[in-house]
């Protein structure tokens, strides 16, 4: 059964169990999707209101972009589970002979790189979602503006969680050029995304105070 198709209660029960999936990556993707949904809620509450008629077209564009972010993050909930399974199996491969050791090392390297791609994708989408929140915080309806702040906090958490999953995967990969490229992108996304998320939170708080 798809992780995404479980009820919230079922998802949390499996997450809390000793089952290998879902883990931090799947939880990060789900949390990010929830955060993005909050911005879209604010957008949908803004659309159709005379007071915000001058920004309605832009809000509609933000909502459309947000829907793509939600769909992408939801897909990564299952993708994270899919890529972890072969990696977990690789750990149990035999290594009693040089040939077996070589095969195990090669398999783990390949699986590790594939596993690393998912948290990077989570970070990319979280970053896009954070930028959408920033603009929604500027032009969205005041009746639900606090939800923009709530949503961006979720996405910042997804961004940080994604970076932690990148790091743990990098630690098992020997290809240093791959590691350096992944880490460079991770660091940039984390720095820029965290800054914009914090600015968005301050923007909303200033409107609420």
Q: Which pLDDT does position 17 carry in this prediction?
A: 94
Q: What is the per-residue pLDDT across 30-64, written as a single tens digit (0 to 9) for each? A: 999 999 999 999 999 999 999 999 999 999 999 99
CA-closest candidate to residue 85, choices 40, 45, 118: 118
- Residue 10: CB partners within 8 Å, gap ≥ 6? none
For residue 149, pLDDT over 80 is answered with yes
CA distances from 196 to 60, 98, 149, 193, 204 (A): 21, 50, 12, 5, 12
Q: What is the per-residue pLDDT across 170-203, written as a single tens digit (0 to 9) for each? A: 998 999 999 999 999 999 999 999 999 999 999 9
Q: Which two tokens stand for residue 74?
A: 């939801």
In angstroms, the CA 15 to CA 5 distance is 14
Residue in the structure block whose two tokens are 């998802």: 11
- Residue 115: CB partners within 8 Å, gap ≥ 6? 83, 84, 87, 169
23-80+116-208 fold: 1.20.120
Q: Which pLDDT does position 111 carry in this prediction?
A: 92
Q: Which pLDDT does position 22 carry in this prediction?
A: 86
Share above pLDDT 70 across residues of the chain, in percent, rounded to a whole number: 100
For residue 121, pLDDT over 90 is answered with yes
Evaluate if pTM is beyond 0.75.
yes
Share above pLDDT 90 across residues of the chain, in percent, rounded to a whole number: 79
Confidence of residue 1 (pLDDT cuts 50, 70, 90): low
Confidence of residue 93 (pLDDT cuts 50, 70, 90): confident
Contact 197, 155 (CB under 8 A): yes
Q: What are the domain boundaries of the chain? A: 23-80+116-208
């Amino acid at each position: 059964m798809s992780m995404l198709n479980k009820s919230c209660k079922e998802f949390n029960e499996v997450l809390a169990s000793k089952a290998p999936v879902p883990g931090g990556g799947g939880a990060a993707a789900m949390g990010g999707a929830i955060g993005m949904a909050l911005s879209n809620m604010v957008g949908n509450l803004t659309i159709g209101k005379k007071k915000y008629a001058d920004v309605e077209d832009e809000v509609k564009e933000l909502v459309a972009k947000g829907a793509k972010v939600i769909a992408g993050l939801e897909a990564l909930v299952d993708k994270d589970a899919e890529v972890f399974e072969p990696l977990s199996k690789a750990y149990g491969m035999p290594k009693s002979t040089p040939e077996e050791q070589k095969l195990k090392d090669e398999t783990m390297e390949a699986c590790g790189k594939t596993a690393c791609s998912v948290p990077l994708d989570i970070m990319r989408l979280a970053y896009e979602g954070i930028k959408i929140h920033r603009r929604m915080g500027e032009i969205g309806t005041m009746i639900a503006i606090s939800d923009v702040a709530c949503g961006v906090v979720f996405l910042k958490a997804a961004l940080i969680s994604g970076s932690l999953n990148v790091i743990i995967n990098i630690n098992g990969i020997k290809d240093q050029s791959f590691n350096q490229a992944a880490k460079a992108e991770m660091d940039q996304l984390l720095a820029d995304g965290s800054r914009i998320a914090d600015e968005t939170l301050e923007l909303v708080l200033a409107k609420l105070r």
